[in-house]
Chains A and B, each alone.
Chain A
């Protein structure tokens, strides 16, 4: 299998006033296509920062970052936005659904950036909502759904454009045990059945067991 995420000597620091706060140190990592990678580590170890860099929503301070065949560190903001919409799906801990939109409309959002017709968009949205098991909830608003259902809508939104990579930041962190299990099963299915490369940050060892590869980060270094 080919390498889909190539991270070479990447460092990331944040600045607070004039004080530099290093988060990732000279990190090198390759992720193969179809892998389900779990990133674990204590709070502040840089897991989410690494995930943000892979998803193209943050930029490295230095190093090379090639994801899905694109050197994303060199893209400008609009180029990066286009790349994200086509190549990566993002699942958040707190779902981040738009409260005034129905499940259908939330999932349809990324497709508004494509040239698909209304009927094609409908077909795609209904298809992914049925994959996540919410075919009967398409007209429900987020507040009318349970946490687990909201997260499934968020996953549907992440995969509706058929991205090659799915990144998930503690997707079960805000869920009860049963709902968490359902989400993990769904993600495992997306990896095995739909061949999605998944990078997941988690604190939960049980969630990490679903991954095909597990890495630990501590103080910005892979251990």
Chain B
């Protein structure tokens, strides 16, 4: 018989209590993993922003348009390589719950976003089709779009029935590249709007500005904004990362709360396990005295208690991590379609959950070990639990 066998037998001494503790740890690991997944996905959508891209929008809000004429002026700024206009289309595809980003873009958009990989064939076809569109791989899979399909949108920002032909499907270059967008010609949008609501013609919502040196982003931003100072549509230019952060700032407080909660859960796991370990060690006070009498050292007792604590925490964490994958997948299914452009468990989430469980296993055993070691043998024999 080895010490490990004794650790295992001790852990199973109160099967219900141990099972409930393991269950509690597993639930907490799942909750922690789910929260961290949401938080990291949110963060990685910001990280996906290009460092060499600036966004110029109306200073008041990005929901107000900018004149088309700004484009050539921005292009004239030193350090600017390329400028692309974009407009948020909104609209509904069949049902309001079918949410994905729909944007009208200039044709050079894919030059500025090399992470959106479109085949040359698809891109050529897109450029030739007036109402052509390129859709991301994720939504193509989700809605079973294929090249040549017609997509009909019911417009809200731009009212009316809008018909598009799928010219191509783009693939995400990186894991955190958004593959849920539908992109189509701004010219197509502009032509119709100019006919139906002339006052809204020749306008975009923001310009994407590619710069030649990321170190000059602040200086270029200032120069662009200076061009339109005191105009009817003053601009605010910032890095794409800052723009994305601003876009999700409304959710910032929730994300902070989720972040806090994910770490609070670690504390809860520790209390659950520490409670079990303290109860177990207290019940075994007399047994520890027996072990000491037989010649077992502080090292052996530490191994017994720490081993049991680690065993329970590792089993709980293992079950939690094992179940996290199907649960995250299920969570993604019940979320509104396209709410998260991508949803996956980052390896860091698993590493954090596993290392937290190990750390908690150690921390939860400290008090029982200290108590077992400091209790004199004679006091241990007198102990009535």
List residues of A whose CB falls within 8 A of some B CB: 52, 55, 57-58, 77-78, 81-82, 84-86, 90, 92, 96, 98-101, 105, 108-110, 112-113, 157
Contact = CB atoms under 8 A, between A and B. Distances in A.
A84 B293 CA distance: 7
Interface stretch (B6-14, B33-41, B220-228, B343-351): B6-14
A52 B378 contact: yes
A55 B13 contact: no
A207 B298 CA distance: 36
Given A100-B10, A112-B3, A78 B378 contact: no
Contacts of B137: none
A221 to B, nearest CB: 21
Contacts of A82: 295, 297
A113 B295 contact: yes
A103 to B, nearest CB: 12
A90 B293 contact: yes
Contacts, number: 61
Contacts of B376: 58
B295 A81 contact: yes
B296 A113 contact: yes
Q: Of residues B12, B287, B293, B297, which shows the largest number of chain A Cβ atoms within 10 Å of its Cβ? A: B293
Nearest to B5: A105
Contacts of B2: 112
Contact of A101 (B6, B293, B377): B6
Given A77-B298, A96-B286, 6 more contacts: A52-B378, A78-B297, A90-B294, A100-B12, A113-B294, A113-B300
Interface in B3-38: 3, 6, 9-10, 12-13
A108 B286 contact: no
A13 B21 CA distance: 43
B248 to A, nearest CB: 54
Interface in B205-221: none
A166 B157 CA distance: 93
Given A57-B378, A58-B378, A109 B10 contact: no
Nearest to A83: B295
B293 A55 contact: yes
B3 A81 contact: no
Contacts of A99: 13
B1 A108 contact: yes
Interface string B258-294: 0000000000000000000000000000110011111
24 contacts: A55-B293, A57-B292, A57-B293, A57-B378, A78-B297, A78-B298, A81-B297, A82-B297, A86-B295, A92-B290, A92-B381, A96-B286, A96-B381, A98-B287, A100-B9, A100-B10, A100-B12, A101-B6, A101-B9, A109-B1, A109-B291, A110-B294, A112-B1, A112-B2
A109 B9 contact: no
Interface in B351-376: 376
A75 B9 CA distance: 33
B297 A57 contact: no
Nearest to A111: B1
Contacts of A112: 1-3
Given A58-B378, A101-B1, A108-B1, A85 B9 contact: no
Closest 9 CB pairs of A and B: A85-B295, A100-B9, A57-B377, A96-B290, A84-B295, A105-B1, A110-B294, A81-B295, A58-B378
Contacts of B287: 96, 98
Contacts of B296: 81, 85, 113
A100 B293 contact: no
Nearest to B295: A85
Contacts of B9: 100-101
Nearest to A102: B1
A32 B244 CA distance: 88
Contact of A84 (B10, B294, B378, B381): B294
B299 to A, nearest CB: 8
Contacts of B6: 98, 100-101
B336 to A, nearest CB: 52
B245 to A, nearest CB: 56
Contacts of A92: 290, 381
A1 to B, nearest CB: 26
A49 to B, nearest CB: 8
Contacts of B3: 112
Nearest to A99: B13
Contacts of A101: 1, 6, 9
Contact of B290 (A81, A98, A105, A108): A98
Question: Which of A85, A96, A113 has its CB near the most chain B CB atoms (within 10 A)?
Answer: A96
A115 B240 CA distance: 68
B14 to A, nearest CB: 10
B41 to A, nearest CB: 45
A163 B291 CA distance: 16
